Amino acid sequence: MVGYQNIKNLNKEVLKQFAKHSKFVGVIFILLGLVGILYSPIMSVATAYFVAWLFVFSGFWVAFHTWNTDRKDWLGWLKAFIYILTGILVSIFPFPGVAALAIILAVYFFFDGFASFALAYQMKGEKYWWLILLNGILSIVLGVLFLTGWPVNSLILVGLFVGISLFFDGIILLTMGSYAKKLEEEIDSDKKTSNNQTDSKA
């Protein structure tokens, strides 16, 4: 996600593209978040399959890289084999994979929470900065709940918490897109004022 200070330094065209795409992605995140909240077991299994295919894809990519660089690199082949095997096992047995994801996502939520705190500090004083702070607090709380509810409630918690996180990330993207649009309008206003002053002097 683009930080507040970076947004301020973007030109008009980049701001326009950021506002457009961040709103689109924000809506997608909100919809996915609602699916995760309402149908958490489905989201949990879908997340496990998504991660499984990422492992398989990464394994084939590592194998391809090893084949083209050093075919005698047994560590590269071993890494590719482990990635592909892990992906296949998670695909065949998604429920243990969900339990493993619960630990991984707990770590993710802690990192997401601290990143949100940093972004909220940068945007303090702006209209929507408290939403980013709220997202950080919720992420930390979710991380703690993940650890305390593991592994019994993993099937529900993974989908539910991924949904909540996606939902609030979507809201943040929408608000940052609105803020980028506001900056774009300010740039237009400043240019008009500057042009009017130039014409007056002429």
Q: Is the pLDDT of residue 9 over 70?
A: no
Q: Is the pLDDT of residue 202 over 60?
A: no
147 found inside a domain: yes
- As a whole number, mean pLDDT of residues 176-186 equals 71
- As a whole number, mean pLDDT of residues 29-41 equals 89
- As a whole number, mean pLDDT of residues 185-190 equals 62
Q: Read off the pLDDT of residues 189-201 as tens digits, 9 standing for 90 and up.
A: 655 555 555 555 5
Contacts of 131 (CB under 8 A, 6+ apart): 168, 171, 172, 175
User: Residue 160 has what pLDDT?
Assistant: 84
User: Residue 7 has what pLDDT?
Assistant: 47
Q: Read off the pLDDT of residues 64-76 as tens digits, 9 standing for 90 and up.
A: 888 888 778 778 8
User: Residue 116 has what pLDDT?
Assistant: 84
Q: How far apart are CA 30 and CA 21, in angstroms?
A: 14
Q: What is the largest CA-CA distance in the chain?
A: 76
30 found inside a domain: yes
Give the position of tokens 């993974």.
158
Percentage of the residues of the chain whose pLDDT score is greater than 70:
80
For residue 70, the tally of other CB atoms under 10 A from its CB is 12
Q: How far apart are CA 90 and CA 48, in angstroms?
A: 7
Q: How far apart are CA 121 and CA 129, in angstroms?
A: 8
User: Residue 13 has what pLDDT?
Assistant: 64
Q: Name the more confident of 98 and 127.
A: 98
174 found inside a domain: yes
- Taking alpha carbons only, the member of 165, 188, 186 closest to residue 1 is 165
Contact in structure between 168 and 31 (CB atoms under 8 Å): no
What domain range includes position 104? 4-43+94-188
Q: How many domains does the chain have?
A: 1
202 found inside a domain: no
98 found inside a domain: yes
Contacts of 105 (CB under 8 A, 6+ apart): 146, 158, 161, 162
Tell me which amino acid residue 111 is: F
194 found inside a domain: no
- As a whole number, mean pLDDT of residues 168-193 equals 72
52 found inside a domain: no
Phi-psi region of 125 (alpha: psi -120 to 50; beta: other; left: phi over 0): left
Q: How far apart are CA 57 and CA 51, in angstroms?
A: 10
15 found inside a domain: yes
Mean pLDDT of the chain: 78
Confidence of residue 57 (pLDDT cuts 50, 70, 90): very high
Confidence of residue 185 (pLDDT cuts 50, 70, 90): low
For residue 140, the tally of other CB atoms under 10 A from its CB is 17
